[in-house]
Structure 1
């Protein structure tokens, strides 16, 4: 195993990037290896952050090739997050702007919702405060309610529970989901049902091939959402389509 990994790494380090087919041809001049076995080695080396995927069947050993995803929040979302934080200073709040989903989608759809995640025991208080402040707000709606009653192209606020140990980052003092959380939440949340199925697999493929994603963080959060097997299998399928 070590000799095979070393041969792959030597090949990779002498190139900016390489294709699966070219590596396979190279290795077959040195060792006897099948495409299935090589796919397994590459998958493990990507998982261990030794190699990085640039695209379908394209790899590099240079981590800087991957772009860090920088979350965005429009001013309305930032302002709302600050108002909630000021009104409820002792609760943890995460703000997600539905407009950013267009960056990942294959079939574009306009999402102007703002998603506010708070600790479960604070959800109703935040929801009622939003209503009192004249926001159009919905409290943790299921997918049937979303399809029947919510036009995601219009501005509104969805209040939902914040899962403990969620991967978050900050924009101007406001917590917002990291890319690992976004990927899992799209898969798991009822209010994201319109992005489930093939669209989610496209989003996963696009994000994994475009941005630097911490797989350990992704899988840890997926486990907290009871989606570890689904996410793990989807990642394996990406890595075997070389």
Structure 2
């Protein structure tokens, strides 16, 4: 019954060679089957189609069918991240960690920062133990740094490692043996912690979101689910909604 209203086969056939599908395109498509179809109905069908993976969102109000080959975000995990991962997991083999670098955001930014941070997210109960272990072996390790610590010390550190609490059920992925962050998670995190990610605030935040959504296929539903866990769902939803077509 649902396929009869969504007309999935016809939709794929009509749009599989088209790079960008607008809401008006979808309105015209469904108007073939139902006269005077409402915009709210179109919005609901877009939601259903994106949930099913038939459509994916390119930018605000612009979609493509899933047959179109879309670039996926695949960060380059450096040797230093691999070594850090091995070091932590060798000492703490049973804890949950997530490693990523703020360098990965460079491709989305207008102004390129000269300083990058390694983010080591650790489950809450193990944060201090990991901090003391790493501090004994290397410099510039900071535990859950405040805005003051960021401005006084982290900004002047050569290769800072920031140990931050890993939110439960965060959307992570694996690159080789390294557990790391999805782009969706990074986009939410930089909005949730402005003191830590000060470089990416303001107009630069809009650049990052705009370029990320234009370049990569992002799981918006999963992203908003994670944002809800962080108490930022409405802010993230508004930010995504404000992106230019």
Q: With structure 2 as the length reference, what TM-score do the two structures score?
A: 0.81
Does the 8 Å contact 2:57/2:217 carry over to 1? no
Does the 8 Å contact 1:56/1:209 carry over to 2? no
Does the 8 Å contact 1:115/1:159 carry over to 2? yes
1:52 and 1:152 map into 2 onto residues whose CA distance is 41
Number of equivalent positions? 239
Tell me the equivalent position of 1:44: 47
Tell me the equivalent position of 2:168: 164
Listed one character per residue, the Cα deviations across residues 10-35 of structure 1 (whole Å, up to 9, x for unaligned) are 7852642245397389569966679x
2:205 and 2:45 map into 1 onto residues whose CA distance is 23
Does the 8 Å contact 1:140/1:161 carry over to 2? yes
Does the 8 Å contact 1:180/1:213 carry over to 2? yes
Corresponding position: 1:78 with 2:48: no
Q: With structure 1 as the length reference, what TM-score do the two structures score?
A: 0.82
Look up the SS of the partner of 2:242 in the other structure: helix
Corresponding position: 1:23 with 2:25: yes
1:164 to partner: Cα distance? 0.6
1:28 and 1:217 map into 2 onto residues whose CA distance is 27
Q: CA RMSD in A?
A: 3.2
Counterparts of residues 132-151 of structure 1 (less than 5 Å)? 132-151=136-155
1:38 and 1:110 map into 2 onto residues whose CA distance is 48
Tell me the equivalent position of 2:202: 197
Does the 8 Å contact 1:94/1:177 carry over to 2? yes
Does the 8 Å contact 1:127/1:139 carry over to 2? yes
Does the 8 Å contact 1:17/1:58 carry over to 2? no
Unaligned runs of 5+ in 1: none
Look up the SS of the partner of 1:108 in the other structure: coil
1:230 to partner: Cα distance? 0.9
Tell me the equivalent position of 1:216: 221
Tell me the equivalent position of 1:13: 15
Listed one character per residue, the Cα deviations across residues 124-181 of structure 1 (whole Å, up to 9, x for unaligned) are 1111111110231111112232123222783111111111111111122121001111
Does the 8 Å contact 1:11/1:23 carry over to 2? no
Corresponding position: 1:89 with 2:85: no
1:235 to partner: Cα distance? 2.2
Unaligned runs of 5+ in 2: none
Tell me the equivalent position of 2:70: 66
Moved beyond 4 Å, runs of 4+ = 2-8, 24-34, 36-43, 55-58
Does the 8 Å contact 1:117/1:162 carry over to 2? yes
1:191 to partner: Cα distance? 0.8
